[in-house]
Chain A
Amino acid sequence: MDLLPIVLVIAFFQTVVIRQPLPQMGEVLFGTLLIVLGLSLFIQGLEMGLFPIGEAMAQALARKGSLFWLLSFAFALGFSTTVAEPALIAVAAKAAEIAGDGGLIDSSPESLQQYAFGLRMSVAFSVGLAILIGVMRILRGWPIHYLIIGGYVLVMLMTIIAPKEIIGIAYDAGGVTTSTITVPLVAALGVGLASTIRGRSPLTDGFGLIAFASLLPMIFVMGYGLLIFK
């Protein structure tokens, strides 16, 4: 059911537009079967494992009443899940290669590696900080749109002063940070917190953590570019 649109799109383009037979039909069918099986297991596991533990932890930490531990949990969750994210590692390596070719940084392997590492660290740090700010927002009940609009204005200001070569990567960095395992956990954390604290609605206040996690990395990556390229 979830995959039907993909199958239709590919079938349509292969038969009508490109008019070439599909390569390795058997392999493709087998792969599709795996995807369907994997997706249903994943959803089953979400409801049994990730959602309950995320909410239970959020509630336990809120009841404990220690702001310090709640915020450090939020930061650690964002930082630790992002620093090892494969999509981010791939994008950072690609970005280093491009910066090296463009003569923006020294193109020796060590300096490329250092640049990629710095990029990953700034993204991971910014995601940690984003979840922390998001949790603060839920606690204090700040309206989300002021924070997000403020973030947009910052992104635009940074775009004016940041080196041109980093802008595309910085904008994309916002999207690739939130992995498939982080998202359910972060959503459960937000909803769990918002339903424990009196006066907060899970719908208005519980969501929004992921939005911060896709906004802050843009600002930080451009900041990193400013720092490194000068």
Chain B
Amino acid sequence: MEFIKEFSIILLATCRDVLPIVLLITVFQLVVLRQKIPNLPRLIVGGVYVILGLALFLAGLEKALFPLGKIMAAQLSDPVFLYGTNEAITHVDWTAYGWVYLFAAMIGFATTIAEPSLIAVAYKANEVSAGTISTWGLRITVAIGVAFGISLGTYRIVTGTPLYLYILVGYVVVIIQTIFAPKTIVALAYDSGGVTTSTVTVPLVAALGLGLASTVPGRNPALDGFGLIAFASLFPIIAVLGYAQLMEWKTKHTINANTGER
């Protein structure tokens, strides 16, 4: 019974999120375009699937993933676990946080693989590129980018270095890569930065950042706790651009090798 109540609340919230979109589409179809919506029954069934699926997904997250992620983030950044003592730590040794970096990287990778927005964009990219961009290839590349980004982001919180320096360097790398990367992939790569951070990643990563900033001595949650999401949206761009460059280089290399043999 308890679960049915919880689930209904989530379902209602999801419906509320979808409402503006439904209104917008209806108004435009009926008032501006003045035409019937094609395939209406199929569309409605699809819409119901989306809402139901998302609500189930969120309910599952609340039950399984979020409590676990938060407990683990707290346990891993606990001074007792890190230094083996409960004494006040006066200076921060960034090497003591090895498990935190590894956990950040792995949780970043794992949540990105499960991210519904990324699955949607990967499907579209596969369809549009007639199969040259594989769904799994894109998802794994983006997930590696997020893993690296979040891991670096936790390092930043531990050391307390300013956020904008990292982001600035990241931007410069993206700009340089854009000049050399194949032009067809650029738009998709930029997009993959924005899609990685939604339903699954944001709550877990935000909990990790704020937890870490409040346990590491000398860090202020307000100033240092934010910023992980920014890392998670920047590094996938670099990863996807890099992957495209690698693939292009490999293709050229094989062609050169083949022509060289003749």
Contacts and interface: CB of A to CB of B under 8 A. Distances in A.
B193 A214 contact: yes
A229 interface: no
B116 A171 contact: no
A58 B166 CA distance: 38
B187 A35 contact: no
Interface in A205-222: 205-211, 213-214
Nearest to B120: A184
B45 interface: yes
B124 A31 contact: no
Interface in A1-26: 2-3, 5-6, 8-10, 12-14, 17-18, 20, 22-24
Interface residues of B, number: 102
Given A172-B229, A175-B194, A183 B120 contact: yes
B64 A27 contact: yes
Nearest to A130: B194
Contact of B187 (A12, A176, A204): A204
A14 B72 CA distance: 8
B184 A204 contact: yes
Interface string B182-199: 011011101101111111
Nearest to A40: B53
Among the interface residues A5, A51, A191, which one has the most CB atoms of the partner chain B within 10 A?
Answer: A5
Given A152-B175, A176-B202, A214-B233, A34 B57 contact: yes
B248 interface: no
Interface of A: 2-3, 5-6, 8-10, 12-14, 17-18, 20, 22-24, 27-53, 56-57, 60-61, 64, 69, 73, 76-77, 80-81, 83-87, 98, 101-102, 143-145, 148-149, 152, 155-156, 159, 164-165, 167-169, 171-172, 174-185, 187-188, 191, 201-211, 213-214
Given A37-B53, A38-B54, A207-B191, 9 more contacts: A2-B114, A34-B64, A60-B33, A156-B171, A178-B194, A178-B195, A184-B124, A204-B186, A211-B187
